[in-house]
Amino acid sequence: MQKYKGHLFVISGPSGVGKGTLREKLFQYIPDLYYSVSVTTRKPRKNEEEGKDYFFVDEDKFKKYIKEDKFAEWALVHGDYKGTLLTTINQNLKQGKDLVLEIDVQGAIQLKNKFPEGIFIFIAPPSWEKLEDRLRGRKTEGEDDLKKRLKNAHYELKQIKYYDYLIINNHFEKALEELRAIIISERCRIKEQLPNVSL
Amino acid sequence: MQKYKGHLFVISGPSGVGKGTLREKLFQYIPDLYYSVSVTTRKPRKNEEEGKDYFFVDEDKFKKYIKEDKFAEWALVHGDYKGTLLTTINQNLKQGKDLVLEIDVQGAIQLKNKFPEGIFIFIAPPSWEKLEDRLRGRKTEGEDDLKKRLKNAHYELKQIKYYDYLIINNHFEKALEELRAIIISERCRIKEQLPNVSL
């Protein structure tokens, strides 16, 4: 089965850093990627779709999943639960699909323990000021929520050393090119390709 | 000095596989790369320039360099000596330059022992038939020389496992994109970037 196994790409970083926009654009350039839909207890934002952006569940259901050990990673982030089901990852990888997770840093660190062969990509803001600006510009959170997110970002940036790649999202097009390059080059790694070489 | 150290990219593969053309095009897309000029005893081909394509020397001088331990790698390939001077590599890397070597497989294996932190990229032909076609199409070698090169390619393809990346040069544009992606993504590696992160 080994040769049918897909890649696990984990895109992660502080909230407000622009990882969602990068990930969406990435899928336009590399269409044979699969997005890992997370489970969350937070309320849907405008334009968010059930089963496409998230699986929206209530807290009781989320805690039931935790008890049943169904999560590959989960975290309480800014007061909301978020998690990735183990079945989502295992089914896709077994089918040889390249799966992209867009998750917070707490979740990524958990995942690294369970899937050390994953490719962990940290998206960082160019500066603190810019991160704050972006969070304010989003206008979906109150001042308290904003402070929570900034405090959290301090902890998150210290975790960079556990990742494989760092992309500083200063210029969007450059960051996108770097993200694409990581996907393409990881697919060229010898260990992935040796079973397919027939020379 | 560590933070000023450049990358060492080694592009390698059987002769006739198209690595020279790929490398030339790569430099147009990523201009801040430096080409490591090799020393050779073979006669210049049409359009080849001293100091740009190779340093052309006679056999006596080459053997003097070998005795003086001046080479990072050298090999007798198809009857001609070829090698890379240690000073070429060390000076460029110390200055923080990203250096690209385009060398044969024998040389790359030697280099991997001396510079294990290098990034080793194998360019492979899509098939044996295509490799033979390309060597014939080049028309710069006789039939004996062609046979030597094909025999050598058998040995070379068995060394793929010592490399980091494999690019199968079937469609030129795709192979070029993969080569670019490897350069860009290696520059995003955490270990390279941590000294520059000021968050």
Identify the pLDDT of residue B133: 82
Residue B43 DSSP class: P
Identify the pLDDT of residue A198: 56
d(CA A118, CA B53): 40
B178:A184 CB<8 A: yes
Whether A167 has its CB under 8 Å from any CB of chain B: the answer is yes
Dihedral over Cα of A47, A50, A55, A58: its sign? positive
Nearest CA distance, A168 vs chain B (angstrom): 9
Dihedral over Cα of B94, B100, B105, B106: its sign? negative
Identify the pLDDT of residue B2: 47
Ranges of residues in chain B with a pLDDT under 50 are 1-2
CATH number for the domain spanning A62: value is: 3.40.50.300
3-class SS of residue A82: strand
Please name the member of B167, B186, B199 whose beta carbon is closest to the beta carbon of A124: B199
3-class SS of residue B146: helix
B188:A194 CB<8 A: no
Residue pLDDT, tens place only, A42-87: 999 989 999 998 999 999 999 999 999 999 999 997 789 999 999 9
Residue pLDDT, tens place only, A121-145: 999 998 878 888 877 776 666 788 7
Residue pLDDT, tens place only, A1-22: 345 589 999 999 988 889 999 9
pTM: predicted TM-score of the whole model, two decimal places: 0.88
Residues 114-133 of A with CB under 8 A from B: 122, 124-125, 127-128
Segments forming the whole domain that contains residue A143: 2-193
Whether B9 has its CB under 8 Å from any CB of chain A: the answer is no
Number of structural domains in chain A: 1
Please name the member of A157, A181, A184 whose beta carbon is closest to the beta carbon of B199: A157
A182:B178 CB<8 A: no
- Predicted complex: ipTM over 0.90: no
DSSP one-letter string for B64-81: HHHHTT-EEEEEEETTEE
Supply the mean pLDDT for chain A.
89
Instruction: Please indicate, yes or no, if residue A198 is contained in any of the structural domains.
Output: no
Nearest CA distance, B107 vs chain A (angstrom): 19
